[in-house]
Structure 1
Amino acid sequence: VVVDNASPLDQGAWKKEALALGARWIDMGWNSGYACGVNRAARESTGDLLLVTNPDVKFLPGSLGRLIQVLESRPRVGAVGPTTWWNPGRTILFPPNIPPSLKDALFQTLAHLSGAANRAYSMARTRLALPVWRAREVVEVETLSGGCALFSRKVWDETGGFDERFPLYFEDTDWFRRLRASGYSLLQVPGADVVHFFNRSGITDGEAALSRYWTSRRRFLEKYYGLPGRLAADWTKALIFSSWAERFRARPMDFIRDLGRVADPPSIRLPRPCASFLLELTQDPGFFMAGAIFGKGDRWTPSPETWEAFGPSRYFLRGLDVSGGEPRYLGTWSFERV
């Protein structure tokens, strides 16, 4: 079942191909939101297993079968999710989702206002992500991404599907939280690999997507924390967009080594050889959400295939030595892909 939430782009060719493959195509006629679209697709479908996926996700060979095998072979599993890559060559991992909370909202806001808080917050997220990034066996997680998840119709019907009060974002986080509260586990499955050509839906109307994000964030915090959550959502948003935060974001960042504007693959030279290093990749100098590149040695240069995945933009990389227990900082670099 394909649900078209009034895409501004012409979907004629895709619709024709989907119908030829036996899919059912539903034109919503308006942008009803991700939650509403998914719920409609679930009602129109007939299978015992449901796979929810964004249109910008590509399944690599064997990934769907691996997800089904894990879901059906383990008791009390609410949903399973794949290992998500940024590029088809599988060299850059997406960050795992971190469950939002009142504490996280406050910590994240401080990270928009202080260099010390920013470093502490982003490193805390990295420590949470490392076990998931490094997992070679099925790993239980606190939440998954609604951009690609497999579950049974029984679980979906039992827990009520997505809450349509979330216009975009947080509808999946809310549902996965309800799954765990009902005694179900959430599993990420190494070996079930997908490529997410990130935010192809959101970039068609970035301002609307951002507005819906803040609306959903407020509703989520209010739903689970009541009046304190709603007040915290309003207060933290105001601080993040305050002149204080703007001055912090505009501060000189002398600690970042700028490699300039580059058309060819840059080379990142680390200060020392590492048995295992992690390069976190992001377009945000605050490293609030970053992907992962693992390697060894004293340098990293993207392969031609990896370099193709870098569209024109400014990128930031933070190096960490992860050879031992605690990640050790190596440096931060930036370049603009032209």
Structure 2
Amino acid sequence: MPTASILVPHYNNPELLRPCLESLRALRADNPTHEVVVVDDGSSDGSVEWVRREHPWARVVARAENGGFVRAIQTGVDESQSEILVFLNNDTWVEPDWLKNLVDPLLSGQVEGVTGSILMNWEGTRANFLGATLNYLGYGFEVPGELPDPRGPLIPVLCACGGAMAVSRKVYLETGGFDESFGMIYEDLDFGWRLNLIGRACCLVPGSRVGHRAHSSLGRSSFERKARYYLLNPLRMLLKNGDEEGHLERMQMAVTLAQARERICLLGQSRPPGFLDRLGQLFHKETSPLVASLVEEEERTRALAEKRATILKRRRCTTREVFERFAPEPTRPWFFDEEQRQLLETAGYFELERRMYRSCGIIGRG
């Protein structure tokens, strides 16, 4: 049995995947005891044939249709062999000692949850991911900074990046793994939040480093698809993981603010001709997609409620305690880019957010 199964989800564009597999091939030349599984998520450009031709040492699992990052990961989990699962984005390259440093804390029992890599910029000169934090509305923020000493101690974090992390198969399955309802975006933050609630550690390993083209894989997904996930997944996290005290009031606030954000951003977004007309078929209805997805879809809502009940039974600490440890700025406003920040500011969204925080007693009324 291989010592670790490295799962690499991929969808179209073999050139994006090339540096990743070339660095893994060099890694494998020094230590061939692990397996590399490329999970092709329904590519239509010959990616499967390219991997099999150029990298026959890697195993390819081809999905019939594109289902998103989380489903591709789950396919890899089902098809892989090792007890140690390693998730790696296709838009990365790894250092020679990346894998050993990443999995050693799991194999030794030092960490009983998740270990994560330091994600660097493509040039390897700066850290783009030194952990993550979030705000009271469920929006996440990556923490960048200078590269830590690779010989330094493990760094406790709220979550590891799902594009460069390791976890034992046992822990992954026992804790429910990545939630397939997330599709993409925030699935790793949700997973880390749950792990911390049940007392499992998430730690970054300073000596495990990965170069990463930030958001290059995500960039090929349609705007409509990304918009839906950015709006819905923070709400899913809050619904599943929030404390019982004040939960309904907090959810009502979060849904109201997400609906306001949705209307402002979709109506004000500058896009090619016809784009908003296409979006209208998805979003511009009497009932917003937020309500449709979280309230009207009875089966999904029931499933989320069941997940929440399971988490509440297993938790060893509260979400308040998780926030106290990992969320130093819980009212920090979230925006995708400067254009969106200006749009939200002009429309008065951030003032609405502050008023609702005050009404819920989250910040002072002064």
Q: TM class, shorter-chain normalised?
A: 0.5 to 0.7
How far apart are 1:158 and its partner, in Å?
1.8
Contact 1:5 1:27 in 2 (8 A): yes
Query: Matches of 2:44 and 2:131 in 1, distance apart?
Result: 28
1:68 to 77, 95, 103: 103
**Inter-partner Cα distance in structure 2 for 1:84 and 1:64:** 13
Question: Aligned-pair distance for 1:168?
Answer: 1.2
Partner of 1:214: 231
**CA shift for structure 1 position 215:** 2.5
Structure 2 CA distance for aligned equivalents of residues 95 and 230 of structure 1: 29
Deviations 1:249-304 (A, max 9, x none): xxxxxxxxxxxxxxxxxxxxxxxxxxxxxxxxxx944899xxxxxxxxxxxxxxxx
Match of 1:296 in 2: none
**Kindly tell me: are residues 191 and 140 of structure 1, through their superposed partners in 2, closer, same or farther at Cα, counting changes over 3 Å?**
same
What is the 5 A alignment of 1:294-305?
none
Q: Which of the residues 45, 58, 71 maps onto 2:80?
A: 45
User: Is the contact made by 1:97 and 1:145 (CA closer than 8 Å) also made in structure 2?
Assistant: yes
Pairing of 1:16-95 with structure 2 (within 5 A) = 16-17=52-53, 20-23=56-59, 25-88=60-123, 90-95=124-129
Q: Return closer, same or farther for 1:84/1:10 CA change in 2, 3 Å cut-off.
A: same
SS at match of 2:166: strand
Distance 2:217 2:250 in 1: 29
Cα distance, 1:42 vs. partner? Answer: 0.5
CA distance in 2, matches of 1:36, 1:94: 25
Distance 1:194 1:238 in 2: 37
Q: Cα 1:204–1:244, aligned 2, differ >3 Å: closer, same or farther?
A: closer
What residue is the counterpart of 1:236 in the other structure?
257
Q: Aligned in 2, Cα 1:10/1:183: closer, same or farther, shift over 3 Å? A: same
Where do 5+ consecutive residues of structure 1 fail to align? 109-124, 248-282, 289-338
Question: What letter matches 1:235 in structure 2?
Answer: T
Provide the residue aligned with 2:297 in structure 1: none
Q: Displacement of 1:239 after TM fit?
A: 3.8
Select the residue among 196, 200, 222 that pairs with 2:216: 200
Equivalent AA in structure 1 for residue 40 of structure 2: D
Q: Does structure 2 retain, via aligned residues, the 8 Å contact 1:168–1:213? A: no
Which of 40, 45, 53 is equivalent to 1:4? 40
- Alpha-carbon separation, structure 2, partners of 1:229 and 1:30: 37
- Secondary structure, aligned partner of 1:94: strand
Cross-structure match for 1:102:
136
Q: Which residue is equivalent to 1:224?
A: 241
Report the TM-score when normalising by structure 2.
0.55
Which of 200, 210, 220 lines up with 1:184 in the alignment?
A: 200
The CA RMSD over aligned residues, in Å, is 3.4
Pair 37,233 (structure 1): closer, same or farther in 2 beyond 3 Å:
farther
Report the Cα distance in structure 2 between the residues aligned to 1:197 and 1:7, rounded to whole angstroms: 20
Cross-structure match for 1:153: 169
Contact conserved, 2:119 with 2:127, CA < 8 A, in 1?
yes
Of structures 1 and 2, the one with the larger relative CO (CA 8 A, separation 6+) is: 1
Name the amino acid aligned to 1:236.
L
Moved more, 176-185 or 53-62: 176-185
Structure 1's 232 and 96: CA in aligned 2 closer, same or farther, altered over 3 A? Answer: farther
User: How far apart are the structure 2 equivalents of 1:146 and 1:129?
Assistant: 16
Q: TM-score, normalised by structure 1?
A: 0.59
Q: Hey, what does 2:178 align to over in structure 1?
A: 162
Q: What is the CA–CA distance in structure 1 between the aligned matches of 2:264 and 2:157, rounded to whole Å?
A: 37
| Larger strand percent | 1
**Could you list the per-position Cα deviations for residues 13-35 of structure 1 after superposition, in whole angstroms to 9, with x for gaps in the alignment?**
53314761141x22222221222
When residues 103 and 21 of structure 1 are mapped into structure 2, their CA distance, relative to the original with a 3 A threshold, is same
In structure 2, distance between residues paired with 1:62 and 1:22:
19
How many aligned residue pairs are there? 233
State the alpha-carbon separation in 1 of the partners of residues 73 and 64 from structure 2.
15
Q: Which structure carries more helix by proportion?
A: 2
Greater mean deviation of Cα atoms: 138-147 or 210-219 = 210-219
Aligned runs of 1:109-148 on 2, under 5 Å?
134=148, 136-148=152-164
